[in-house]
Structure 1
Amino acid sequence: MQRFLLAKRAWLVLFAVVCGVYFYGLGAVPLVGPDEPRYAEVAREMFARGDLVTPTLGGHTWFEKPALVYWLMMAGYHVLGVTEFAARAGSALAGVLTFLLVAWAARRAEFESGERLRGFGITCAAVTASGAGLLAFARAASFDVVLTATLTASLACFYASEVERDERSRRLLLAGFYACVGLSLLAKGLVGVVIPAGVVGVYFLLRRRWPVRPGLWWGALLSLAVAATWYAPVAARHGRVFFDEFIVQHHFARYVSDRYHHAQPFYFFLPVMLLLALPWTPFLLNGLAASGETNARAEDAETKLRVLALAWLVV
């Protein structure tokens, strides 16, 4: 009982510290250009019109990104007024949610593994919350941290479904996975499908097996139903203009040309990943070095989590 109370107190203290660090002084610094002011202004214009469908900038349609982040900013404006703090509050909330989701998945692995992984959950949660990347993006008006939260939610549900023994609970967790893929589509477009599909695909390749009942068809319909809350009305309202700007230009043209000044060599994100993992980069490298020693086909919860984490890094 005493151990339980101490653990509960430690979790509460960690949660309070994370909330304080992520939210304190969010509005102290002006919006940093060019992205923060642009995204905040798009949300402000939508908020002023009471329009949840059409993003605009300077009165002109702006289909660079989907609507989920704008909706979070609009909610912040509604509750807190149109301020820098309100524009960033949704990102901070997404950062805290990411911390909680990692804590949930790690605690599930700890519970399934017994004494072997004692303290694993709170350690993973603390490492996640204190990583340079999550901390920096959670304190900015950013699409990336909201995508991180929705992807973490989807893959946490997937992991929980992999270790769940009850069939009904497993299907509910898979439904959560697919629903969160739909949210990822709302967060940043097609990448919200490509990443979780790639991670799950690599996971099964590493484990050298394929699910007997993946639920792909009903899951895909669920993902599309969630995403359709914005894609359906915006496509109905703007038709080909939306398709050309959002799909053709911002999903494909930016990757095959330098039109949007995003051309980078294939290895560009490797040093970026190492920097964003600070101060835990040495542990990340050590984990990668030790990954070859893992028997990826083992059925224990710890191995499944290791393989999923490796698949996520690879993708």
Structure 2
Amino acid sequence: MIQFFSERRFQVVFILFTSVLLLLGRQLDVGLTNFDDAFYAQKAKEIFDSENIWVVTYFGGPSFENPPLIFWLMGLAYKIFGVSTYAAVFFPAVLGVVTIYLTYRMALYLYQDTWVAFFAAFILLFPGMFLDGARRAMLDVPLACFVTAALFALHKALKDPRYYWLYGAMTACGILTKSFLGFWPLVIGAVYLFWRDRLGAFRVPQYWGGVALALVLGCFWYLVNWIKFGDVFVQSHFGRQHMTLIRSDYFDISQLKIFLGYGRDFLKTYWPWLPFTLGALWVFARKAFIRKEDGAALLWIWAVLVFVV
């Protein structure tokens, strides 16, 4: 019986069925209750009705906050299902399912253990923030999907350099989803490859091909809007407060309260996994820097860079 449950086929079917049930099930058309969901859904509706898919609008006027990829997908869902709550949340939920499956595949690839892979994927269903985000018309879970896919491809590219092209394509999707945050795979990848092989990894032509693909495709939205709107686009997109890494009021008490609020949210939301996460970071650090294990190094660098920045 235990052998049956540990079989990869059973685990994949169970994970996918549970993910689809929780993320896509009972998505009743009762409206979008959060402002951000409605904000994004309206942008998608206007792209759906527009002839220019590269210019995002909000109630008819240019809106430069977000790149358009997820709005394209929402617009496609509107075309298939009609304009509705279900259509607005459909592709974020699908990408949530894909993220869970990618987590399973990546853990299995790194550790060659079906139970490690199963629990790595399964626990994603129970921190409330991931489950909640994947059931809403938001950008965070789609971004997580593209970052996970990019870094999985990066690690596989160490054995087969052709995966660098997939690494670049998935990074481009991340950039076209949430702008600067989509560059994370390039930053994490550069640090990881330097740790692993110093400058040797950067001599692989396919790596630079993947980076170029990410930049050309990912930054095309910037170019189109800069040509069309000039400095208005630059100031409206790059000049916003949350696009600035260190602001002039960074050390104000009000900003400190916001920063501490993230820690409070982790303490409230990520139980029972938070202690395991902190312990895992210690284990990964030892395996990365003492035993020189590639997989542990990638996971540690990924987590630490995101938390620190």
Distance in 2, matches of 1:254 and 1:305, equals 29
- Using a 3 Å threshold, how does the CA distance of structure 1 residues 292 and 56 change in structure 2: closer, same or farther? closer
Aligned-pair identity (%): 25
- Using a 3 Å threshold, how does the CA distance of structure 1 residues 235 and 280 change in structure 2: closer, same or farther? same
- Given that 1:132 and 1:275 are in contact with CA atoms closer than 8 Å, whether structure 2 keeps it comes out as no
In structure 2, runs of 5+ residues without a counterpart are none
Give secondary structure in 2 for the equivalent of 1:222.
helix
Give the Å deviation of 1:127: 1.7
Q: In the alignment, which residue of structure 2 is the partner of 1:110?
A: 111
Which has the bigger relative contact order, CA under 8 A and spacing at least 6? 1
Give secondary structure in 2 for the equivalent of 1:190.
helix
Give the Å deviation of 1:140: 0.9
- Using a 3 Å threshold, how does the CA distance of structure 1 residues 251 and 243 change in structure 2: closer, same or farther? farther
- Using a 3 Å threshold, how does the CA distance of structure 1 residues 50 and 78 change in structure 2: closer, same or farther? farther
Q: In the alignment, which residue of structure 1 is the partner of 2:301?
A: 311
Q: Counterparts of 1:1-315 in structure 2 under 5 Å?
A: 6-111=7-112, 117-162=113-158, 164=159, 170-193=160-183, 195-204=184-193, 207=195, 209-214=197-202, 215=205, 217-249=208-240, 252=243, 256=247, 264-265=255-256, 266-296=259-289, 298=291, 303-315=293-305
Distance in 1, matches of 2:110 and 2:279, equals 20
Q: Give per-residue Cα distances to partners, 1:77-136, cap 9 Å, x unaligned.
A: 11111001111111101111111211121121233xxxxx34222221112233322211
Distance in 2, matches of 1:197 and 1:309, equals 15
Figure out how many residues of one structure are paired with residues of the other and give that number. 295
- Given that 1:185 and 1:227 are in contact with CA atoms closer than 8 Å, whether structure 2 keeps it comes out as yes
Q: Which residue type is aligned with residue 304 of structure 1?
A: D
Give secondary structure in 2 for the equivalent of 1:10.
helix
Q: CA RMSD in A?
A: 2.8
Distance in 1, matches of 2:40 and 2:4, equals 46
Distance in 2, matches of 1:248 and 1:147, equals 22
Give the Å deviation of 1:40: 0.8
In structure 1, runs of 5+ residues without a counterpart are 112-116, 165-169
Distance in 2, matches of 1:37 and 1:267, equals 28
Q: Taking structure 2 as the reference length, what is the TM-score of the superposition?
A: 0.84
Segment of structure 1 superposing worse, 123-132 or 51-60: 123-132
Give secondary structure in 2 for the equivalent of 1:119.
helix
Give secondary structure in 2 for the equivalent of 1:294.
helix
Q: Give per-residue Cα distances to partners, 1:261-299, cap 9 Å, x unaligned.
A: xx7335543343454533322211221343453253645
Q: Taking structure 1 as the reference length, what is the TM-score of the superposition?
A: 0.82
Distance in 2, matches of 1:192 and 1:140, equals 20
Q: Which residue type is aligned with residue 178 of structure 2?
A: K
- Given that 1:46 and 1:52 are in contact with CA atoms closer than 8 Å, whether structure 2 keeps it comes out as yes
- Using a 3 Å threshold, how does the CA distance of structure 1 residues 249 and 76 change in structure 2: closer, same or farther? same
Distance in 2, matches of 1:296 and 1:52, equals 46
